[in-house]
Amino acid sequence: MSSAEPTEQTGPAVRSHPQHAEHVQHSHHPENAQRPERSPRPAPMPGLAESARLLADSTTTSTALVADALARVEAAQPTLNAFRHLRAEAALAEAAEADRRLAAGERLPLLGVPVAVKDDTDVAGLPTHFGCDGERPPVTTDSEAVRRLRAAGAVIVGKTNSCELGQWPFTEGPAFGATRNPWNTAHTPGGSSGGSAAAVAAGLVPAAHGSDGAGSVRIPAAWTHLVGIKPQRGRVSVHPHHDAFQGLTVNGPLARTVADAALLLDAAAGAHPDDFHRPPAVRASDAARRDPGRLRIALAWRPPLTLTGAGPDPEVRRAVAALAETLARLGHHVEEARPRYGLIGLTFVPRATAGIAEFAARHPEPALLDPRTRSALRTGTRLGGRVVRAARAREVRQHRRIGALFDASGYDVLLTPTTAAPPPRIGTFDHLSAWRTDVTMAAACPYAWPWNVLGWPGINVPAGFTRSGLPVGAQLLGPSRSEERLIALAAQLEDDLRWYEHRPPVS
């Protein structure tokens, strides 16, 4: 932590008024939305790499960038409700200290650059609510990922909203209301890193930290037209948790460009001495500037078995098929294939629910938890212990079976839709039972979670828009420790498609 951090001066919790949020929902008409054009409006806040360059060149100051970010957050909060907490005074003090360091000639990758952190991650001086209602005391120590971001010079402006314990692909709850999608505020930005995704998509901050236990970086990235990286398990420490959600959850970046996501990943990556998983380092930013070469890419439409009969919405399929055609035009060999997922869901459920039970058991007021969370707690308690150990023991066989797509069949990358459906409307999951929530969620988002079971990397890239202007995404998935290849391929796609030129109407 920076010695200049005045943690006692952190700002108040940021909340939106439910009645105002309802007004926003009815004031936007998705039926009339059109495919976004390249915007002629003034440029949004510069991206992560551009902000770092402007600071290093003395073209701007950290104080100016941080003050701008805070003003944007405050202005957008009644509409988007992306943040749970702001650190206004502390962040401005840290920005002033960054300016002094920059003036003295110090250079760090993110020195003075504002970023946001998801509210499942400890930031000293703020509570970690993880989407839950009730009061929590401020934590006294940064998580390892935040410590590394600070060591790279980043200024944390606040903590972004997450659904309760990160369980669902929407960011709504009684503790904070509904976080809304800047492309269409009647729709969710996804979850559970929905606050981070909405903040970056709307240009409130250059980039943000998220976490992904079943697609929680990739799903909101897909639904807000962002790049979202789920790195290899252990690439970014989850300390003070040693093995979050039974090894399913990893930390990762959300950004508008591949270079920005890679830069944030490089800054946050690295292990804590107590971490279980310690993969060798990668150079993500270097990979973003590298030609990926000619790759063999498997395109898979059929998701793992979820008993919902889910397949891709026609508009999702159209967008992902167009992206596959772009890859072929760029010189890659693309063909349809079918990964051997097997009954991987039978090992995912015990690990996921046991993870929820572990976090829910720490809540000081269990009665405040969503009834669906309490249901998951009971299931996870029943499936803990021997069942979870058996589920985790199967991971080695799952690596061999699904990994045969890369090892035996010779593919370099697996391409799938990130979600089966475009972003649902706000309130879609309200008042559903735990079972109906799970079924509805599995039907909309059947593609992302197997890579959490495997612990392997994946990247969401923007795949375009539905006819009503809602973003959808595609996943680039790879075998163990293949981030650099995936990042290089994503950067090549970005150079061709220039998705960062499209901006949402709410910003």
Catalytic residues: 118, 192, 216
Token pair for residue 396? 């080695």
Rounded distance, CA 12 to CA 403, Å? Answer: 48
Neighbouring CB atoms inside 10 A of 17's CB total: 11
Phi, psi for residue 333 in degrees, rounded to 5: -90, 115
Place of tokens 């976090």: 359
Rounded distance, CA 440 to CA 243, Å? Answer: 28
Distances (CA, A) of 108 to 58, 60, 68: 14, 16, 21
H-assigned helices in 225-301 = 258-268, 284-287
Which residues sit opposite 250 in a β-bridge? 212
| Packed helices 88-103 and 62-80: angle between N→C axes, nearest 10 degrees | 150
Q: Is 34 helix (H, G, I), strand (E, B) or coil?
A: coil
On whether the CB atoms of residues 2 and 153 are closer than 8 A, the answer is no
Place of tokens 């003050």: 67
Instruction: Dump the DSSP string for 108-154.
Output: -TTTT-EEEEETTS--TTS---TT--S--PPPSS--HHHHHHHHTT-
Phi, psi for residue 177 in degrees, rounded to 5: 95, -145
Rounded distance, CA 211 to CA 347, Å? Answer: 20
Torsion of CA 419, 424, 430, 434, to 10 degrees: -20
Instruction: Give the list of residues 6+ apart from residue 315 with CB closer than 8 angstroms, or none.
Output: 422, 466, 467, 472
Rounded distance, CA 378 to CA 506, Å? Answer: 40
Count of residues in the chain: 507
Q: What angle do CA 304, 229, 305 make, to 5 degrees?
A: 5
Place of tokens 């990042």: 487
On whether the CB atoms of residues 55 and 153 are closer than 8 A, the answer is no
On whether the CB atoms of residues 247 and 233 are closer than 8 A, the answer is yes
Rounded distance, CA 462 to CA 429, Å? Answer: 25
